[in-house]
Each structure stands twice: as structure tokens, then as C-alpha cells.
Structure 1
Amino acid sequence: MKMLIDSAWLESSSGEWAEVCNPADGTYIDRVPSATLEDAARMVQAAQSGKRRMAALPAHERAAILIRTATLIEDQIDTLGELLARENGKPIMQTRDEVRVAARIFRSFGEEAKRLFGRVIPMDAVPGNERHVAMTIRQPLGVVAAIIPFNYPVELFAHKAAAGLAAGNAVVTKPPLECPLTLLKVAEIMEAAGLPRAAHQVITGDGVMLGEFLASHPDIQLVTVTGSTATGKRVSELAAKNLKHVHLELGGNDAQIICADADLDVAAEAVVLGRLARGNGQICCAVKRIFVEAPVYDRFAELLNDKARRLKVGNQLEEDTDVGPLIHSIAAERVETAIRQAEAEGAKVLTGGHRRGNFIEPTVISNVPLGSNLLHEEVFGPVAPIVPFTNITEAVELANNSQFGLQAAIFTNDISRAFDIAYRLEVGGVIVNWSTAVRVETLAFGGVKQSGHGREAIHDTLLEMTHQKSILFFNALSQPPAEM
């Protein structure tokens, strides 16, 4: 496949390509251009005219394009879902669902494009301003650069690109080099839906080189990144040189607190779906630390082990597969190393723990020392460490003892306890009685601490991707009469 620059499908100016392979067995799928900095500069230059076309496009036309895009994506859910499973490694049932969610996000942002409201400001609240009238409007920033990760490339692309276009910006996208193909197919659909020339462009190639170029270029007004904390820090450093907007959704080490009064079967199922199976464990908001109240610790471990052993690991294109391969061998080796290191520290592997190529068995680990990296670093794979606690204060302290603060989960049937814990947790979102791996596009999503800043959601992202302008009409009202 080729990349999209200035509404034309092009090869790299160097003539070089990068292969995209199935992470399960290494078989070749397709290739994409390895873009040069010259290609990137051409793309940003084209975006300058693209942003003017988008800013001039009425809201109802922007809405119509995004809604048409959603319909066209829905028409190809099976085809797109299979391609995404092949290049990404997630089970096909999950990739179809990801494509379906992406279409829904495009449609929602299409609707929201018509609801970028301003305000009328009561100037008579300030003495001496009684005759003035003021209002605010929201206008596009200009060019939005979207840097997309490998784990949920189509869904996260929709959150960024659809939002940017709905707000009237031009968007330039850098997809993950490991799995760019489905996103490029969606870009084809967006072109077919009627976007203006250079309104949306996609460049493929070396992630570090292109990402740093986009973060530092003065003609890009906002960079939105979902990725590692290290990537977010580097993007922020480069963007600061031009005082550009930065939106960061970064790493997580989400805690799940299970109280003794909880439904343990539901809590165990939440760990399975929120860590071991969904996304092959490669989710920023996946359950990564499980704290269980001591009286029910053994029972919970038994339930979780039983459920983990039943998961099918294998070919991601088979309908009954629960866990597919990690994105590449380096990722799988990192997870295996984390498991072996935890064992060396005294932890006990109850289930799984083995690697076969890029596949990691769903792994449940107990007796994890509190200082273990398994509890303090983000392990991106199907590994569930469980730790006992004796009281709620200890559980909250354990959960907050992290550089990250994306999401957390609480399992209890005591609503007062749930509220108390939720208020005390240092995270961007709290889920009660289900997994941390929850993201609904109408709910603000994002973290605190090293998990980034800013919020993504249908109602929130448009505010991130526009600026507010105040307009004051001086002495617009006649002088009020002295007497009535």
C-alpha cells in the first residue's frame, strides 16, 4: 500500500519500503513506504492549504463527511476486521469490534461537529460595562498531528482524526509501522467520503524520525499522542520550542481493588477480560495490579486460575481464539523477562508463564514482592499479579504507589466504601465493579501523573482541538434610562 500525501497515494521519495507481517507466524502481508523527511515536509506544506479548506467548510458539511465515513466503515467491518487481526495479532472477534467502535466514533464526531457552541457573557456583572455585549466562538487550531499506537490503531485513530476534522482542522496521521494497513484502508474510505484536498494525510515510516519531525514543526498547532510515557516526554520537549498544544494519553499501571464483600466470580472475569484476553494484554488501561482483601485472597486466586486456564491461545483469525500473539518478538521477550524476574524475586507463577514465539500464555502470579518491577513498571502483555491487603487504607496506598495514574477499579457491594476509595485514588478514572479496561467515547478518558494530560471524549476532544475567541461589542446597547 502507498501513503496519502496531498490527496495522492504515493511511494517514498527514497523508493524504500517496510514490510508488514503477521505477528503470529511472520508471514508477509503487504508493504508500506518508508517516508523521508522530505516527504514529511511536503505533507505539512500541503496541510497548510488543507487547513484553510477545512476551516471554510460549514459544520453541516463536515458532519456529513464524517457520517458518510462511518457508514462506509460499517459496510466493510468484516474485511477491515480481518486485515486488522492479521497485522495486529488481536483475535478477530475483537478487531471486528474495534472497527465497529471506530465507525461509531466517526458518526458521533460528525454529530458533534454541529454542536461547537460558544457563550454570551453577561458584561453587566462588571461595573462600567453595562452597555457592552460579549460572546465567544470556537475556531479550529489549524493542523493536528495524530501519532497512533499499535494496540488499538483504528479506534484511537478515530478518536484523534475524526475529532480534528469535526473541529475544522486539517489532520496529518502517523500510523504504527507494525500495523498501518487497516488505518490506510480507512483513510481510503475517508477520501471516498468527500474530504477536501489535503484535509487528511497519512505518512508511514520510522516512528521516531517522523514523530520528532511532527512534534517540532512550527506549522503544526497540536500533537496528540497515545503511546509510552517516554514518547510523551520527548514530544512535549520538542513541542515546547514552538509553544504548540500537546495532548498526551500515555502509560498506565492500573490497579484493581477487590474487597471481601465483592462478587469474586465477576471480579475474576473482569481480570480475564480486562487483562489476560482483551488486546492480548496490550492495553494502557488494562488491569495490571490486582489487590485482594486477605480473607478472600485464596478463593479469588483459585477462581482466576480456573478462568485463565480455559483461555484459548492461538491463531487470531479463528473465531474461538481468546489470546493471540503480541505485536512482535521484542514485546514478547520483554514480558517473558518480567515474569522470570518476578520469579527470581520470590513470586509464584500459578498459571501460564511461558512464551512460544510471540505468544505469551495467560499468566497469574502470586506472592509478588511489593518492590517488584512487575508492580511498578507497565508490563504490556497477559500477566496478572495478585497481592493481598488487610484494610482499605493499605489498598489505597498500594494503588497510589505508582508513577502512573490512568484508571483504577473497585469491587465492593458497599456504595459508601466505593465512593470513599474512588475519591482517594490518584487516577483519571475509576470503574466500580468492573475492569479498568473500559473506554466509552462519551466519557472523558485520560490520566494524571506520568499517564499524561488532557481528556479524549466526544464532548471533550473538540475543545482540545479548538481555541476560544472572545468578541466584544463595545457600547452595543443604548444607555439605560435613569428612571423607569
Structure 2
Amino acid sequence: MKMLIGGEWRDAADSAVMEIRNPATGELVDTVPAAGEADALAAVQFAQQGRQAMAGTPAHVRHDALMSVAARIERDAEDLAALLARENGKTRREIRGEIAAAIRIFRGYAEEAKRLFGRVTPLDTIPGLEDGIALTTRVPRGVVVAIVPFNYPVELWAHKCAGALAAGNALITKPPEECPLALLRISGYLAETALPANAHQIVTGVGERVGAALVRAAGVQMVAMTGSTATGRAIAKAAAETLKKVHLELGGNDATILFADTDPAAAAKALVKGRFSSGNGQICCAVKRVFVQRPIYDAVCAAVLRETAALRIGDPMDDTTDVGPLITERAARRVEQQIAQGVSEGATLVAGGRRDGNFITPAVFTGVRADMAVFREEIFGPVLPLVPFDAIDDAFAMVNDSPYGLQAAVFTQDLATVMSAYRRLDVGTVVINHPTAIRVESLPFGGAKGSGNGREGIHDTLIDMTEARTLLIPYAFAGSAEAAA
């Protein structure tokens, strides 16, 4: 496939290409241009034309374009799911849910494009301005760069893409270098809509070249990125040079607390799904640290081991597969090293932890201490540490003792415990009786501390991707300044 710059599907300026390989088999799926800085800056220049044209594009046109893209995704859903499974390694069964979410997201933003309301403010609260009035509306920021991760590329891109276009911006997408193909395919649907030329461009390549150039470019007004905390810090620093608006949804080391009134068997099913069979463990909001109240600790451990042993690991195209490969062998080796470090620090590996190419057998740890890396670091793969606790205060303190603060889950039947968790846990969302691996597109999603800034969601993103503009009329009801005097 080729990338879209300036309304044309083109190769990189130096003709360099990247291979996209199936993480499960190693087979070559396709090649894409390996763009460089010159390609990225060309897209920024074309985006200035797109910015002007989009600013004058009526909301109903933006609405219709996004609705048509949603319809195309829905029509081609099974083909897109197969393509994404081949390039990404997640199970096709799970990807169908991601595609369905993207359809809802495009339609949701299409509707919100018609609801960017303003307000009128009488000024008679201010002495001397009794005859004044002000009009405030939301206007597009200009050019938005969307930097998309590999784990849920279609769903996460849908928020950034549909949000930017619904708000009337021009958009440049930097897709994940490991799996850009599905986004390129859907970008073709966008190119066929009635949106202006250069409303959307997509530039393939590695982040260190393409992403960095886009973030530094003076012609970009906002960067919306989902990815690692380290990358987020680098983007924030670079974007500060031109005072860009930055929205960062970053890493997480999400905790789950199981209180003694929880059914161990039901909780175990939720833990295994939320850690192992969601994204093959490669999710920022996956279940990553589990605290189990001591009376049910042994029962939960036994149930988790039974559920883990029943998982089917293999071909993501097989609808009976529960766990597929990690995105690259490098990623799998990193998780393998983290597992080995956990063992060397004294934790007990009671299940899995073996690497075969890009595959890691789901690993379960017990005997984990709070000072161990397997507890403190974000592990982007199928690793589950189980830690006992006694008092509620101990559990809350361990959850908050983290540089991250994305989501946390609490399993209990006690309302007072629920409300205490909601008040005391320093995270963006507290989830009740469900794994942390959940995201609802109509709710604000994001976290505290090293998990990022801002919130992403159908209602919230449009506010971030627009800015307020005010018309101030001091003598609106006086006829003229002279009459007011």
C-alpha cells in the first residue's frame, strides 16, 4: 500500500519501504512507504490548504462524510478484521469488537459535529456594560496530528480521526509502523467523501523520523497521541517549542482489588480475560496488578490457574484462539526478560512464562512484593501478579503507590467500599466488578500522573480539538457608543 499526501497515494521521497509481517507466522503481508522528514513536512504544507478548506466546511458535510465512512467500515468489517488480525496478531474474534467500536465512534462524532454549540452572555453583570453582549463559539484548532499505537489501531484512531474532522480540523495521521494497513484502507474511504482536499493525510514510517518531524512542525496546532509514557514525555517536550496543544493517553499499571465478598471463580474469569485474552495482554488498561484480600487469596489463585490452563494459544485467525502473539519478537523478548527478572527477585512463577517466537504463554506470579519490578513496572504482555492484602487501607495505598493512574477495578458487593474506592484511588476511572480492560467511547478516558493528560471520548475530544472564540459587543443594545455615553 501507499501513503496519502497532498491528495495522492504516493511512495516515500527516497522510495524506501517497510515490510509489514504477520506476528504469528512471520509471513510478509504487504509493504508501505518508509517516509522521512521531507515527506512529513510536505504533508504539513498540504495540511495548511486543508485547514482553510475545513474551516469553511459546514457541519452537515462533515457529518455526512463521517457517516459514510462508518457505513463503509460496516460493509467491509469482516475483511478489515482479517487484515488487522494478519498485521497485528490479535485474535480476529476480538478485532471484530474493535471494528464495531470504530463504527460507533465514527457515527458518534458525526452526530456531535452538529452539536458544537456556542453561548450568548449578557454583560449587565459588569458596571458600564449594561448594554453589552458577547457571543462565544467553538472553532477548529487547525492542523491536528494523530499518532496511533499498534494495540487497538482502528478504535483509537477513530477517536482522533473522527474527532478532528468533526471539529473542522485538517488531520495528519501517523499510523503504527507495525500495522498501518487497516488504517490505510479506511483512509481510502475518507478520500472518497465530500470532505475538501487535504482534509486528511496519512504518512507511514517510523516514529523517530515521521512522528518527530510532525510534532516539531510549526504548521501543526495539536498532537493527539496514544502510546508509552516515555514517548509522551518526549512529545510534550518537543511540542512545547511551538506551544502546541497536546493530548496524551499513555501507559498504565492498572490495579484490581478483590475484596473478601467476591466470588473467586467469577473474579478469576474476569482477571484472565482482562489480562490474557484482551489484546494478548498489550493494553494500557489491562489487568496488571491484582490485590486479593487474604480470606479468598488461595481460592482465587487456584481458580486463576484453572482458567489460565484452559486458554488456547495460537493462530489469531482461528476463532477458537484466546491468546495470540505479541506484536514483534522484540516485544516478546522484553516480556520474557521481565518474567525472568521477577523470578530472580524471588517471585514464584506458578504458570506459563515461556516464549516461542512472538508468543508468550500466559504467566501467573505469586509471592510478589511491592518492591519487585514485576509489580512496579508496566508489563506489556500476558503476565499476572497476585498479591494478598488484609486491610482496605493497605490495598488503596498499594494501588496509589505507582507512577501511573489510568484505571482501577474493585470487586465487591459493598456500596461503602465502592464509594470509598471512587474517592480515594488516584486514577481516571474506577471500574466495579469488571476488569480494567474496558473503554466506553461516550465516557472520558484518560488518567493521572504518568498515564497522560486530558480525556478522550466522543463528548470530550471535540472540546480539546476546538478552541473558544468570542465576539464582544459592548454597546449591542445602545445603538452606538455615542448613545451609550
- TM band (smaller chain): over 0.9
Q: The residue matched to 2:275 in structure 1 has which SS?
A: helix
Displacement of 1:263 in angstroms is: 2.6
Q: Is the 8 A contact 2:353 2:361 kept in 1?
A: yes
Q: Could you tell me how far apart the structure 1 residues matched to 2:346 and 2:151 are?
A: 31
Q: Unaligned stretches of 5+ in structure 1?
A: 480-484
Q: Could you tell me how far apart the structure 1 residues matched to 2:182 and 2:441 are?
A: 21
* Superposed counterparts of 1:31-430, under 5 Å: 31-430=31-430
Q: Could you tell me how far apart the structure 1 residues matched to 2:367 and 2:126 are?
A: 63
Q: Could you tell me how far apart the structure 1 residues matched to 2:119 and 2:303 are?
A: 54
Q: The residue matched to 2:459 in structure 1 has which SS?
A: coil
Deviations 1:214-250 (A, max 9, x none): 1111100000110001100100111000111000000
Displacement of 1:125 in angstroms is: 2.3
Q: Could you tell me how far apart the structure 1 residues matched to 2:308 and 2:451 are?
A: 28
Equivalent AA in structure 2 for residue 26 of structure 1? G
Q: Could you tell me how far apart the structure 1 residues matched to 2:168 and 2:450 are?
A: 30
Q: The residue matched to 2:288 in structure 1 has which SS?
A: strand
Q: Is the 8 A contact 2:285 2:407 kept in 1?
A: yes
Q: The residue matched to 2:241 in structure 1 has which SS?
A: helix
Q: Which residue of 1 aligns with 2:434?
A: 434
Q: Which residue of 2 aligns with 1:482?
A: none
Q: Could you tell me how far apart the structure 2 residues matched to 1:301 and 1:78 are?
A: 37
Q: Could you tell me how far apart the structure 2 residues matched to 1:431 and 1:189 are?
A: 35
Deviations 1:231-274 (A, max 9, x none): 00100111000111000000000000110012322221221121
Q: Could you tell me how far apart the structure 2 residues matched to 1:63 and 1:384 are?
A: 43
Displacement of 1:478 in angstroms is: 4.2
Q: Is the 8 A contact 2:41 2:214 kept in 1?
A: no
Deviations 1:346-400 (A, max 9, x none): 1111221111110011111111121011111110001110100110000000000
Cα 1:197/1:344, change in 2 over 3 Å: same
Q: The residue matched to 1:467 in structure 2 has which SS?
A: strand
Q: Could you tell me how far apart the structure 1 residues matched to 2:36 and 2:420 are?
A: 53
Q: The residue matched to 2:458 in structure 1 has which SS?
A: coil
Deviations 1:314-354 (A, max 9, x none): 00000110000000011101111111111111111122111
Q: Could you tell me how far apart the structure 1 residues matched to 2:417 and 2:89 are?
A: 39
Q: Unaligned stretches of 5+ in structure 2?
A: 480-485
Cα 1:125/1:358, change in 2 over 3 Å: same
Structure 1 stretch 339-348 or stretch 395-404: which is displaced more? 339-348
Q: The residue matched to 1:144 in structure 2 has which SS?
A: strand
Deviations 1:166-216 (A, max 9, x none): 000000000011000011001011112332211000001121111111111
Equivalent AA in structure 2 for residue 250 of structure 1? L
Q: Which residue of 1 aligns with 2:21?
A: 21
Q: Could you tell me how far apart the structure 2 residues matched to 1:196 and 1:268 are?
A: 51
Structure 1 stretch 93-102 or stretch 383-392: which is displaced more? 93-102
Q: Could you tell me how far apart the structure 2 residues matched to 1:268 and 1:462 are?
A: 38
Q: The residue matched to 1:243 in structure 2 has which SS?
A: coil
Q: The residue matched to 2:135 in structure 1 has which SS?
A: strand
Q: Could you tell me how far apart the structure 2 residues matched to 1:125 and 1:206 are?
A: 54
Q: Is the 8 A contact 1:345 1:369 kept in 2?
A: no
Q: Could you tell me how far apart the structure 1 residues matched to 2:477 and 2:349 are?
A: 75
Q: Could you tell me how far apart the structure 1 residues matched to 2:154 and 2:228 are?
A: 18
Structure 1 stretch 246-255 or stretch 209-218: which is displaced more? 209-218
Q: Which residue of 1 aligns with 2:482?
A: none
Q: The residue matched to 1:44 in structure 2 has which SS?
A: helix
Q: Which residue of 1 aligns with 2:446?
A: 446
Q: The residue matched to 2:100 in structure 1 has which SS?
A: helix
Q: Is the 8 A contact 1:407 1:436 kept in 2?
A: yes
Equivalent AA in structure 2 for residue 139 of structure 1? V
Q: Is the 8 A contact 2:35 2:203 kept in 1?
A: yes
Q: Is the 8 A contact 1:285 1:406 kept in 2?
A: yes
Q: Is the 8 A contact 2:421 2:430 kept in 1?
A: no
Q: Is the 8 A contact 2:349 2:366 kept in 1?
A: yes
Displacement of 1:462 in angstroms is: 0.3
Q: Could you tell me how far apart the structure 2 residues matched to 1:229 and 1:456 are?
A: 16
Q: Could you tell me how far apart the structure 2 residues matched to 1:131 and 1:442 are?
A: 40
TM-score normalized by structure 1?
Answer: 0.98
Q: The residue matched to 2:155 in structure 1 has which SS?
A: helix
Q: CA RMSD in A?
A: 1.0
Structure 1 stretch 454-463 or stretch 257-266: which is displaced more? 257-266
Q: The residue matched to 1:365 in structure 2 has which SS?
A: strand
Equivalent AA in structure 2 for residue 331 of structure 1? A
Deviations 1:428-466 (A, max 9, x none): 111011111110010000011011101000000000000
TM-score normalized by structure 2?
Answer: 0.97
Structure 1 stretch 264-273 or stretch 56-65: which is displaced more? 264-273
Q: Could you tell me how far apart the structure 1 residues matched to 2:162 and 2:123 are?
A: 35
Q: Which residue of 1 aligns with 2:483?
A: none
Q: Which residue of 2 aligns with 1:12?
A: 12
Displacement of 1:279 in angstroms is: 0.2
Q: Could you tell me how far apart the structure 1 residues matched to 2:474 and 2:201 are?
A: 42
Displacement of 1:129 in angstroms is: 2.1
